[in-house]
Amino acid sequence: MTEADMAAKRRHPAIIFLGVMAVLAVIGAGVSLWFFYNQDALMRTMFVPEHAIAGEPLGPAPDYADNSAWAARPGMASRASMLPEGLYTTMQIPLADVFYIHPTTFLENTRWNADFDSEEARPFLERLGLQHQASAFSTAGRVFAPRYRQAGIGAFFDESGQGAQAIVRAHGDVLAAFDHYMENDNAGRPFIIAGHSQGSLHGLLLLAERIVARGLQDRLIAAYLIGWPVSMEGDIGALPGLSPCEKADQTGCIISYQSFAQGGDAGSIVKAFEMLPGLNGQPHAGTTMLCTNPLNWQIDGAAPAGLNAGALMLAEPDTPSNALEAGLTGASCGGDGILYINPPPKDGWTDYLMPQGNYHVYDINLFYKNIMDNAVDRTRAWFDGRPDVLPGAVPGAAGDMPQ
């Protein structure tokens, strides 16, 4: 079966919502209003597995000594090295690493946790995760991207507590992958932690359980925890030695934002954020959601579209990456901690648009080149601040690449 065939079979939430909304438009305004106020209930019906997690055997654990347990790592051919059309480089900062944790790519309701080598999850992992996300960090260092027994999409809409169990199961693999990387590949190198959505949740927990717990803060270039709500007080405040990133060349800091169209309704995200427990063990309610503007790398800032160095629209399955689109959209952080984009892009940028103007799938794509350049800038700044650490080891910036 080709990737296109598998993609057609996948019940991606955005595609399903578009279809449902079209039907509701025909049925009438009354049902449409019901749908508007009951989206979470519908998502639970569609995506939460019907069976109990206790009766679901967990698939074999990945063996991180084997390349099959990695979606990308040095010496492996992967889509993490695919760059946008017209962007060419052989440059990579050879003495830094990127530990990238992919988002949810298992979009079925048949399992709470996917097998790490799930064929259903693989196409979207390769296309979205590697080709359009991990590649943005590939010029900042060697990319290590573990496969793991991810929690399926239904885990994030479950209210029974079983979804949380699925996430804990998945997190055990991420910890094992990071431990293997540190013991066998890191050799004292500085590193970036990058993730999206579920991957950013695992990355946030990783900061507490490995980076802070083992005193590795000084080796952390930055943590790009995109597409997952992070509390300034409840999460970052519980991570001694780490702070939110407030400028473009700061290191040892944390970046987070979630993208919505200007005028969109992020109420469900804000509500979920308030209910989530922080790393300090207390609910997020009453705390501040971190919003890093990726166009100027300031907290709670606003920036015009002219600062957007290049967005990357999702390519069709099994095709090379598209060319970058400079100036696509501006962005500003709202008082609710959400990053609002203006003007909201249309055409191909709405294929995976979520309800209420949620551009979640495109969180990294919308600001791809800004993220690429910034990852290199922060890595260079890490070495510049430590002239005694292998001086002269950092080549030119990603911004020097011909286009």
Reported pTM: 0.87
Contact yes or no for 244/232 (Cβ under 8 A): yes
Average pLDDT over residues 214-243: 98
3-class DSSP state of 226: strand
How far apart, in whole angstroms, are the C-alpha atoms of residue 113 and residue 158?
13
Least confident of 109-118, 182-191, 311-320, 368-377: 109-118
Return the pLDDT at 139. 94
- Residue of 219 and 42 predicted with greater confidence: 219
Return the pLDDT at 396. 39
How far apart, in whole angstroms, are the C-alpha atoms of residue 179 and residue 397?
30
Least confident of 30-39, 120-129, 373-382: 30-39
pLDDT above 90: residue 294: yes
User: Which stretches of 220-290 are assigned E, i.e. beta strand?
Assistant: 220-226, 243-244, 253-255, 259-261
Return the pLDDT at 39. 59
How far apart, in whole angstroms, are the C-alpha atoms of residue 239 and residue 204?
10
Return the pLDDT at 40. 61
Q: Write the burial class of residue 103 (CB in 10 Å: 0-12 exposed, 13-18 middle, 19+ buried).
A: buried
Return the pLDDT at 213. 97
Least confident of 141-145, 161-165, 379-383: 161-165
pLDDT band at 250 (very low <50, low <70, confident <90, very high): very high
Residues 38-57 have pLDDT tens digits of 456 656 566 788 788 988 99
Residues 140, 371, 293, 283, Cα dihedral to 10°? -70
Which CA distances in Å does 210 have to 101, 104, 215, 382?
Answer: 15, 22, 8, 20
Return the pLDDT at 108. 85
Average pLDDT over residues 342-369: 94
pLDDT above 90: residue 94: no
Return the pLDDT at 401. 31
How far apart, in whole angstroms, are the C-alpha atoms of residue 126 and residue 2?
13
Q: Nearest Cα to 284, choosing from 269, 263, 301, 298? A: 269
Q: How many other CB atoms are there within 10 angstroms of residue 334's CB atom?
A: 17
